Amino acid sequence: MELIVFDGCGVWLTTQTPTNQVKAKRKRHDPEFKARVALEALKGLMTVQQIAKEFDGHLVQVSEWKKKLSAQASSVFESGKQQAAVADFSAERTDLHSKIGELTVKLDFVVKKSKQLGVWSGLPSSLNLDTQR
């Protein structure tokens, strides 16, 4: 593919460009940078366009960070008990899921061995478990 470029001095240049050009990587900003930019936008001392230019970002991105910070600012002042409760719930859920998996494996083993020994009479109909393995 051939690219024709005007150099600004009245000269047209032609260059060859590779057919498999690599796109530029997206910028990844750390949370501290995003917070700093969003706080600057919330202050209102400069326009979003000025902030985007100063921090070398896009104005839509700055606006999104500003909205997100203003929407989630109250979570900074939540009590430690509420945050601990959410963490405890998540940990308890993980423990319970692993316990369910463990008990399922044990039940499958007992059912299999009972059938092999000929002592299997079946589970009660109230337990709708898949034991056809």
pTM: 0.45
State how far the Cα of 115 lies from the Cα of 111, in Å rounded to an integer. Answer: 6
- Tell me how far the alpha carbon of residue 29 is from its chain's centroid: 15
pLDDT, mean over the chain: 81
Query: Ranked by mean pLDDT, which of 69-78, 106-115, 121-130 comes out on top?
Result: 106-115
With contact defined as beta carbons under 8 Å apart, do 9 and 23 qualify?
Answer: no
Distances in Å between the Cα of 39 and the Cα atoms of 32, 43, 49, 50, 82 are 10, 6, 15, 14, 25
pLDDT(13) > 70 = no
pLDDT for res 23: 72
User: Could you tell me the residue ranges of all domains in the chain?
Assistant: 28-75, 78-120
Q: Which two tokens stand for residue 8?
A: 């600004």
pLDDT for res 4: 61
pLDDT (tens digit per residue) in 14-68 = 555 555 566 777 788 898 999 999 999 999 899 999 999 998 888 899 999 999 9
